[in-house]
Amino acid sequence: MPFQGTTAIVTGGASGIGLAIVEGLVERGTKVAIFDIQREAIDTQVARLREQGATVTGHIVDVSSRAQIETAVAEVRAELGPVLILVNSAGIEQFGKFSAITDELWDRVMAINLRGPFMCSQAVLPDMKAANWGRIVHISSSSAQAGQPFMAAYVSSKAGLIGLTKSMALELGPRGITVNTIPPGMVVTPMTDRAVSEGRFTDTLEHFASITPVRRAGAPADIANAAMFLCMDESSYVTGQVIGVNGGRTT
């Protein structure tokens, strides 16, 4: 199944890692639907990519809502065709003492970071089963592998995403559907910039880059490059895997 003409959905695709993945897909001839909640960012990126000749649509979707997901997937299917590639990149952060996490905050983080990928995957599954081919990539986090203080809800949601990946891969592999997860290391994104501006880093980005084996911070394109491989037909023997893209800090 080639990229050319295949339809993909990228959640959280209007900025950061998600946008880099959208760009990688459209460069290879994929028709892409962006799911995001940032209306202005969606409009800006869709217009820019269309000017470059890409086939791309934008949809305002809160991935914690099954109704919004199912409505948007139906729109994508009608406009672009069956959805055979799904990249779950939408997510929210959480920072604060464990003792201060409220039930409401815990539930919101889980709803977007874990339940969202679950529901999006269910929504596109009929298309993939009909084609006996599909690619699902979950963007998790290296913090789920090593833990992170003051981010218990976020880390738990991303750890759950790794477990979801493994279970889905075992069940869906016989149907030609692969499911993998990429846990990024430190990647410079709007979310990272916000954390720096709020003083949540114990040191500078330059310091963290200096103690990373490859001696630099990650870029969204680094994650996108790995996602492109996992979406290819040539990656059909790779499923249920945790593909760390972190400059060697987590092995």
Residue spans of the domains in the chain: they are: 7-185+227-235
Q: Which residue has the tokens 């299917």?
A: 77
pLDDT at 208 (0 to 100):
78
Distances (CA, A) of 149 to 38, 51, 96, 143, 191: 29, 43, 9, 9, 17
**Dihedral-angle region of residue 5 (phi above 0 means left; psi in -120 to 50 means alpha; beta otherwise):** left
Does the active-site annotation cover 154? yes
| Type of residue found at 225 | N
pTM metric for this prediction: 0.94
Report d(CA 37, CA 46) in Å as an integer.
Answer: 14
DSSP state at residue 242: B
Q: Give the residues across from 135 on adjacent strands.
A: 85, 178
**Dihedral-angle region of residue 116 (phi above 0 means left; psi in -120 to 50 means alpha; beta otherwise):** alpha
| pLDDT tens track, the chain, 251 positions | 678 899 999 999 999 999 999 999 999 999 999 999 999 999 999 999 999 999 999 999 999 999 999 999 999 999 999 999 999 999 999 999 999 999 999 999 999 999 999 999 999 999 999 999 999 999 999 989 989 999 999 999 999 999 999 999 999 999 999 999 999 998 988 777 777 677 776 667 788 788 889 988 889 999 999 999 999 999 999 999 999 999 998 87
Report d(CA 138, CA 126) in Å as an integer.
Answer: 18
Angle at 16 between CA 10 and CA 19, to 5 degrees: 40
Q: Determine the 3-state secondary structure of 106 from DSSP.
A: helix
From 154, 182, 187, 189, the catalytic residue: 154
The CATH T-level fold of domain 7-185+227-235 is: Rossmann fold (3.40.50)
Q: Determine the 3-state secondary structure of 227 from DSSP.
A: helix
Report d(CA 203, CA 211) in Å as an integer.
Answer: 11
pLDDT at 189 (0 to 100):
81
Q: Give the residues across from 63 on adjacent strands.
A: none
CA 124 to chain centre: 15
